[in-house]
Amino acid sequence: MTRRRTGRYRMCACTLAAALAGGALGFAASTAHAQETGYTAPRTADGTPDLNGIWQALNNAHWDVEPRSAGFSPVRDLGALGAVPGGLGVVEGDTIPYTPEALAQRNENFANRLERDPAIKCYLPGVPRATYMPYPFQIIQGRSHIMILHEFGGAVRTVYMEDHMESPADTWMGWSNGRWEGDTLVVETSGFNGMTWLDRAGNHHSPALRVVERFTARSPETLDYHVTLADPDVYTRPWTMRMPLYRRVEPNAELMEFRCVEFVEDLIYGHLRKRVDP
């Protein structure tokens, strides 16, 4: 597989401040886009944009958020059905601004992805990866909480719209606080355990990751998804991904169960099976 190399940048001394500045630019971009399309989302009973529904990303960011060409399957016997599709990437500027050490770790992750990708063993995918995996997710909107339910692994996120606080403990999906900026839902998430990846290509982060997501309705059936990641232990500066999300419009659309633990029990625990001599 052909991969682009990231450039080297000086470490930013004010990473969080830069992330917030990048967030302000993202808000301005979302507002400008809404003005260009002329679309205004319907309102809920409390007057906020109605983002309720089942949504899904239709891109190949699950495989690699950076641009790439198609490549061989990591499992030979899967042949063409397991081959990695090419993708234009969703990273603004194309490359993730890794530190040299973190870039080396990413390359090592990629070389050992079948053994190291946490999602292969049904661990929760983390944020933002859960959003662009090839599985739908559902937004259920309330005044004080917004729930985001993911099909993969039954992952659940609670976005606290009131009583914001820092995460009481590090977890796979982090702790999410939300607010409205005009017609844009802004979700700030931190408190990660640092064990999730961003894609199948080994792109990664540390427990210091802070994620700022922006969801803006751009039509009745699409959302503009804009996400900025800041992690001074892995990246030299904050960076951003952007993509559309599409509403599942089938009349019978619903999340199916994909509680994948049962599919990986032998993979994880098979070596503990008691062997019986013939």
Q: What would the pLDDT profile of 125-163 be if each residue is shown by its tens digit?
A: 999 999 999 999 999 999 999 999 999 999 999 999 999
Report the 10 Å Cβ neighbour count for 208: 16
Whole-number pLDDT of residue 18: 46
Tally of domains within the chain: 1
The DSSP letter of residue 37 is: H
d(CA 240, CA 86): 20
Residue 5 lies in a domain: no
Q: Which domain holds residue 159?
A: 15-249
Structural domain includes residue 265: no
**Tens-place pLDDT, residues 167-176:** 999 999 999 9
190-246 pLDDT, tens per residue? 999 999 999 999 999 999 999 999 999 999 999 999 999 999 999 999 999 999 999
**Is 221 part of any domain?**
yes
Tokens of 22: 């990048």
Predicted TM-score of the model (pTM): 0.83
Asked whether residue 3 is assigned to any structural domain, the reply reads no
Quote the pLDDT of residue 61.
Answer: 98
pLDDT bucket at 9, cuts 50 / 70 / 90: very low
267 falls within a domain: no
The first and second tokens of residue 154, run together, are: 């039954």
Residue 15 pLDDT more than 70? no
Whether residue 271 is predicted with pLDDT greater than 80 in this model: the reply is: no
Q: Does the pLDDT at position 20 exceed 50?
A: no
- The Cα 62–Cα 54 span in angstroms is 18
The per-residue pLDDT for 14 is 40
Domain assignment of residue 276, yes or no: no
**pLDDT category of residue 256 using cuts at 50, 70 and 90:** very high
Mean pLDDT of 75-80: 90
Q: What is the DSSP string of 229-263?
A: EE-TTTBSS-EEEEEEEEE---TT--PPPB-THHH
Distance CA 61, CA 57 (A): 9
Contacts for 223-227 with beta carbons within 8 Å, 24 or more apart?
Answer: 223/51, 223/55, 223/247, 224/30, 224/33, 225/57, 225/131, 226/26, 226/29, 226/30, 227/128, 227/131
Is the pLDDT at 22 greater than 80? The verdict is: no
Cα separation values, 194 from 60, 100, 182, 229, Å: 23, 18, 32, 13
Give me the pLDDT at residue 276, please: 65
**Structural domain contains residue 162:** yes
